[in-house]
Structures are given as C-alpha cells and as structure tokens.
C-alpha cells in the first residue's frame, strides 16, 4: 500500500512532535462495512503514531466495541478521539475528529494532539473564570467542510 504521508511531511511532523510534553492516545473507531474513509483514516494514523514515543494508537470497531463507543458518545465512523494518557489511564478531554483529517484539516489534528499533550487549553484566565461560572453543560462543536 502506498504511503499517504511523504518523507518530507513525516520529518516535519516528527520535528513538531519533539515538543510533546505528555503522552497522547489516538482512539480510532472504524466500521468494516460501508465506511467511506475508514481504511484511509486508519492508515494515516498508523503512519502518524510512530513519529513520537509519546503518541499511541488504538483502533476499535464501532459495532464490535459498541459499549466502548457508547461510553465515548461515538455513533459513526471514522471517529478519532484525542485522549490524554498517563500510564494505563486515559482521560477523555472531549477532543474529537469525525471523518478523515485530510487537506487543511490535517494540521488541525496535529494541533489537537499538541494541545492534549500540553494539558493546557491556552485559554486566558478571564475565559477560564467565565467557563468555570457556567451553571449548565456546554457543548462546543466546530464543523468544517472539505474545499
């Protein structure tokens, strides 16, 4: 199978990942049938994950691992969860990527990995105080379309 990421891109990503601070686990949910881009997304993450000792990948089947998918609120595939890992403990910070991260969206995935690795959102103290004061749950979703 032909690689999705060429050697120059891999070298650039490896350089970026040198700044990772804490372990990150990519959790990928795929389907065996009728899943556009599941195979390509898996291949992409399999090429990405060896670029740092602080990055790992686990792949699950949406149907076979339905209980786990339900626990994380995943209902379609491909779905990538970018999770904080400390030893055997995974912490779900709510960072998700639905679909294949191709084109400009690939850099967004790299940035998400780096944010989770830093364990800091980068939000200002004022924003943190405002969010802490919220009295009901807030779901923030960002939608992108390929162009």
CB-based burial label for 100 (10 Å; 0-12, 13-18, 19+): buried
For residue 142 the two structure tokens come to 């960002």
d(CA 140, CA 94): 10
**C-beta separation of 142 from 95 below 8 A:** no
Report DSSP letters for 47-91, one per residue. HHGGG-TTEEEEEEETTTTHHHHHHTT--SSSEEEEEEEETTEEE
DSSP state of 114: H
Q: 8-42: per-residue pLDDT in tens?
A: 999 999 999 999 999 999 999 999 888 999 999 99
pLDDT-derived band at 147, boundaries 50, 70, 90: low
Q: 73-122: per-residue pLDDT in tens?
A: 999 999 999 999 999 999 999 899 999 998 888 999 999 999 999 998 88
CATH superfamily of 7-132: Glutaredoxin (3.40.30.10)
**C-beta separation of 23 from 84 below 8 A:** yes
Going from N- to C-terminal start, the domains of the chain cover 7-132
């Amino acid at each position: 199978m032909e690689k999705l990421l060429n050697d120059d891109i891999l070298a650039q990503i490896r350089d970026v990942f040198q700044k990772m601070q804490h372990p990150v686990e990519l959790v990928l949910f795929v389907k065996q049938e009728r899943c556009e881009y599941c195979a390509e997304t898996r291949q992409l993450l399999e090429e990405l994950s060896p670029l740092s000792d602080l990055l790992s990948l686990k792949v699950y089947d949406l149907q076979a691992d339905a209980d786990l998918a339900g626990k994380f609120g995943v209902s379609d595939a491909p779905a990538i969860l970018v999770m904080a890992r400390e030893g055997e403990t995974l912490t779900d910070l709510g960072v998700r990527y639905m679909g294949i991260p191709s084109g400009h969206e690939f850099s967004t995935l790299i940035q998400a990995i780096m944010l989770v690795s830093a364990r800091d959102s980068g939000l200002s103290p004022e924003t943190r105080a405002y969010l802490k004061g919220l009295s009901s749950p807030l779901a923030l979703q960002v939608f992108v379309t390929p162009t």
